[in-house]
Chains A and B, each alone.
Chain A
Amino acid sequence: MKNAKRILDKLLILILYISILIFILYPFLCVFYQALFVDGSFNTGVLSDFFTNDIKLLINSLKIAVLSTIISTTAAVSVGIFYLASNNRVRRIINSIMMLTMISPPFVTSLSYITLFGRRGFITHDILGLTLNTYGMWGIVMMQSLGFISLNSLIVTGSLSQLDSKVIHSARDLGANTTSVIKDIIIPMLRPTTLITALLTFVRSLSDFTTPAIIGGNFNTMAAEAYMSMVAYGDIRRSSVINVVLFIPAIFVFIVYRKNIKKTDMNGQSEIEESAISKKGVLYNIIKAVSLIFIFLILMQYASIFFSAFTKKQKGIAYFTLQNFIDAKAYISGTFVRSIAYSLISGLFGAILGILIGYYLEIRKLRFMGFIDLIATMPYIIPGSFFGIGYILAFRGAPFFLTGTAAIVVLNVLFKQLPFSSKIGIEAANQISLETVNSVKDLGGIDFDVLADVVFPVSRNSLFTSFVNGFTATMTTVGSIIFLVYPGQKVATLVMFDVIQSGKYSVGSVIAVLIILITMFVNVLFYKILIRRDESVS
């Protein structure tokens, strides 16, 4: 019995090591090989060609990334401070709005932008009577900024919620008014968080190809070009080269991220109470205004998506109808079942892998586990297209032959979201005390018993959270799998992307609404289960 468990333990370690090396590191290296080697020998020709001929693309991408980063980080810090100063009811509302965007496909923003401000936009065309070309750089910047705000605000509020309220009390006690508290205490203390938020936004903006593809018009970026080279022209080498260039800032950000993530911990013991800051002063009111504008814009997006899903226009007048849902049926037969199945698989296995990584890294402290964890975190920062192209290059030939299968898509989404589940797994493992682990062994158990009898049962809440995250991420992802999915096997996000690109905006809205409702249902369901479990325990 003990021997069988020992073997099982070794087997688990082996599977963990090999799967992460094969499904993350190997495809990653394949892209480099494709970009930098021609016929087996090192050749930077394609790379230097890119820098001489396509420097414009790089400049465009950088312009957009810088602007989006500045706007969305500033807005996120504002929302964070506004959140801190608000009462619990307002905080709940802000949180719900931010969570709503987290469970939506990433290009919902662009879709709503088109329905509101496009050539036939609700505001520009129907209300103002204009036929504008709002496509282009500023469209991309605005939509990316709006799209990134939710995640950024959640990072900022998460960091601020750990702030020791006594620090703010002390400042006020010494005579600081609201403006001074914000300037002297909150903003400086948020510096590491702001840095990380900005860098992550920068990389996300660089690697985002969906927004420029949808509303970029003639304005082209590197990510969009990498996507087009691959999908339209089948030029996998050019696509690889662009992705390698995109990877340079990403790796830099990755290093800074790993170094700074601990500094964002503010060591506070309790949630800051409502009255910590008084709502006064010019600075506070500017922050409040900025926050409210962006929160309003985010809400507008959703209102417009739901509006365009449930209405049709006749002679310029919108009326309520379910016709769009009937029209959408042709596009989505089977796709939602497939999406849900993929999401369930990736959520489940992602959660299990995450806990295993946590266990072997933090409790067993295995020698190479630190390196494995580093690899497992890479998809967090690698552009989605990079990861997708890597999968094609890595698994099209022997011995895998995975191209065109469902397996390649599921593996891709599973390993793409591994950074999140491994983070949750590590946190869960850290909460298990060494005494508990030693008690198992003291009473006659071996390592495998620790895993089976302590780690998994104790981490059940983390498993749930990890599962829901993985499910949501997969339901809403588009970045990497767009390269992997064959026409007959599309998932919901890809169909949505296609119909938007071909101008069928109301069908796109219907799919967006369905994706939002499904992910919301799963999130709420599991949240309720978690709460009930917690209540029955206490």
Chain B
Amino acid sequence: MFLDVSNLTKKYNKKTVVSNISFGIEEGELLTILGPSGCGKTTILRALGGFLKPDAGDIILDGVNITALPPEERPVSTVFQSYGLFPHMTVLENVIYGLKFIGIKRKEAEKVGLNMLGKVHLDGEENKKPHQLSGGQQQRVAVARGLVTHPKLLLLDEPLSNLDAKLRLELRKEIKAIQREFNITTIFVTHDQEEAFSIADEIMLMNKGELIQFSKPRELYENPSTKFSLEFIGSVNYDKNNNRFSRPEDVYFDEGGEEMKVLECSFKGQTIEYTLLTSDAEIIRMASLNKRHEINVGDTVRAVVHWSTLDKMRKS
């Protein structure tokens, strides 16, 4: 593994915020750490960046144990949620700041910096101060600044959370493209599952300081290994008697199906979501593509539920 984290543990005043976590990723991969707030994802990122000292565990990057190194000596760059841009420096000065510590002369550094700014579509903005840029542009400066020193690991701490929805989609694509182009090993922290699904090669799902599931996005959705994975990701129908589940899109209208009553009907445009009541008084959530059905609350419909077993799932 290119990055190998083993038995990482961090406590604050006896409260364990990260509990004995081990994981690894290959070079050039993008790992998303996903979880609700307070799950320990930011703590892991800070430990990787060198901003806090873990109580136990090792971090090995490209064969070197970096656990005890201060941030300035780690080949790791972080893009912070608030970007952490230097307000008194220009965009270009921000981007090339890291180069002076690896012995690159100012002239040369400026060339490298301008080139990097081009890659993040900020040509012509190099002499502005950060506060003169929009949120999305500031974000790009932070990414450019992080990449310019060619770190071995790039850490992104909820980098899109301060931006509006449309810009978030755009930048998500850009970050992914840049990550591919530079083939840089990246860890991306988010609490937004849609974001995680669309950008990640691997997802590490966390809750209350523990690693819940580490898998590819599709695997996480289709084969959740715990009840937390099942319920945190997407919407779900869970049959606890038979320990099986069904996603809303796995419920279909079918003339041969069971008779159910429509309790709620919520129009989403592309899809319509229904809440159905079975004859056994079970609630079933269903999502159907909008095929111009005329189904209203109170109607009786016939539907089939496709159940998946949860045999792999731990009881927790």
A interface residues (Cβ-Cβ under 8 A, vs B): 164, 166-177, 180, 184-185, 188-189, 191, 266-267, 269, 275, 278
Please judge, given known A-B contacts A166-B84, A170-B86, A171-B86, whether A180 and B51 are in contact too, CB under 8 Å: no
In order of increasing CB-CB distance, the 9 nearest A-B pairs are A174-B98, A175-B101, A166-B84, A170-B84, A172-B71, A166-B80, A188-B88, A172-B72, A167-B84
Q: Of A164, A174, A269, which is within 8 A of B97 by CB?
A: A174
Question: Are the CB atoms of A189 and B82 closer together than 8 Å?
Answer: no
* Cα of A169 to Cα of B88 in the assembled complex, Å: 16
Contacting residues, chain B, for A164 (C-beta < 8 A): 82, 84
Q: Which of A174, A177, A185, A188 has the most CB of B within 10 A?
A: A174
Question: Are the CB atoms of B80 and A189 closer together than 8 Å?
Answer: no
Contacting residues, chain A, for B83 (C-beta < 8 A): 166, 170
Question: Are the CB atoms of B77 and A174 closer together than 8 Å?
Answer: yes
**Smallest CB–CB gap between B310 and chain A, Å?**
41
* Cα of A16 to Cα of B76 in the assembled complex, Å: 59
How many chain B residues touch A (CB < 8 A): the figure is: 29
- Chain B residue with the shortest CB-CB distance to A188: B88
Question: Are the CB atoms of A189 and B84 closer together than 8 Å?
Answer: no
Question: Are the CB atoms of B84 and A169 closer together than 8 Å?
Answer: yes
Question: Are the CB atoms of B49 and A169 closer together than 8 Å?
Answer: yes
**Smallest CB–CB gap between B263 and chain A, Å?**
37
* Cα of A176 to Cα of B145 in the assembled complex, Å: 13
Contacting residues, chain A, for B74 (C-beta < 8 A): 173
The 0/1 profile, CB within 8 Å of A marked 1, for residues 61-78 of chain B is: 000000000111110111
Chain B, range 75-101, C-beta contacts under 8 Å to A? 76-78, 80-88, 97-98, 101
Is B190 engaged at the interface, CB distance under 8 Å to the other chain?
no
Question: Are the CB atoms of A170 and B80 closer together than 8 Å?
Answer: yes
Question: Are the CB atoms of B86 and A175 closer together than 8 Å?
Answer: no
Question: Are the CB atoms of A269 and B52 closer together than 8 Å?
Answer: no
Contacting residues, chain A, for B43 (C-beta < 8 A): none
**Smallest CB–CB gap between A195 and chain B, Å?**
13
* Cα of A102 to Cα of B97 in the assembled complex, Å: 40
Is B19 engaged at the interface, CB distance under 8 Å to the other chain?
no
Please judge, given known A-B contacts A169-B71, A180-B101, A184-B97, whether A174 and B145 are in contact too, CB under 8 Å: yes
The number of A-B residue pairs with CB atoms under 8 Å apart is 75
**Smallest CB–CB gap between B185 and chain A, Å?**
16
Contacting residues, chain A, for B145 (C-beta < 8 A): 170, 174
* Cα of A2 to Cα of B80 in the assembled complex, Å: 54
Question: Are the CB atoms of A167 and B87 closer together than 8 Å?
Answer: yes
**Smallest CB–CB gap between A491 and chain B, Å?**
46
Is B149 engaged at the interface, CB distance under 8 Å to the other chain?
yes
* Cα of A180 to Cα of B86 in the assembled complex, Å: 13
Question: Are the CB atoms of A169 and B78 closer together than 8 Å?
Answer: yes
Question: Are the CB atoms of B101 and A176 closer together than 8 Å?
Answer: yes
**Smallest CB–CB gap between B84 and chain A, Å?**
3
Is B102 engaged at the interface, CB distance under 8 Å to the other chain?
yes
Contacting residues, chain A, for B142 (C-beta < 8 A): 170
Chain B, range 157-189, C-beta contacts under 8 Å to A? none
Contacting residues, chain B, for A177 (C-beta < 8 A): 72
18 sample A-B contacts, Cβ–Cβ < 8 Å, listed by A number:
A166-B81, A166-B82, A167-B85, A169-B80, A170-B78, A170-B142, A170-B145, A173-B78, A174-B72, A174-B98, A174-B149, A175-B98, A184-B86, A184-B97, A189-B86, A191-B88, A266-B87, A278-B70
Contacting residues, chain A, for B85 (C-beta < 8 A): 167, 170
Contacting residues, chain A, for B50 (C-beta < 8 A): 172-173
* Cα of A110 to Cα of B73 in the assembled complex, Å: 48
Chain B, range 230-244, C-beta contacts under 8 Å to A? none
Extra inter-chain contacts (10) besides given A167-B87, A173-B72, A185-B86, CB under 8 Å: A170-B84, A170-B85, A170-B142, A171-B97, A173-B71, A174-B72, A174-B97, A175-B72, A188-B88, A275-B51
Question: Are the CB atoms of A175 and B149 closer together than 8 Å?
Answer: yes
Contacting residues, chain B, for A188 (C-beta < 8 A): 88
* Cα of A340 to Cα of B135 in the assembled complex, Å: 53
* Cα of A185 to Cα of B97 in the assembled complex, Å: 11
- Chain A residue with the shortest CB-CB distance to B83: A166
**Smallest CB–CB gap between B314 and chain A, Å?**
36
Contacting residues, chain B, for A170 (C-beta < 8 A): 78, 80, 83-86, 142, 145
**Smallest CB–CB gap between B191 and chain A, Å?**
18
Contacting residues, chain A, for B98 (C-beta < 8 A): 173-175
* Cα of A290 to Cα of B52 in the assembled complex, Å: 29
* Cα of A174 to Cα of B81 in the assembled complex, Å: 16
Q: Which of A170, A267, A269, A278 has the most CB of B within 10 A?
A: A170
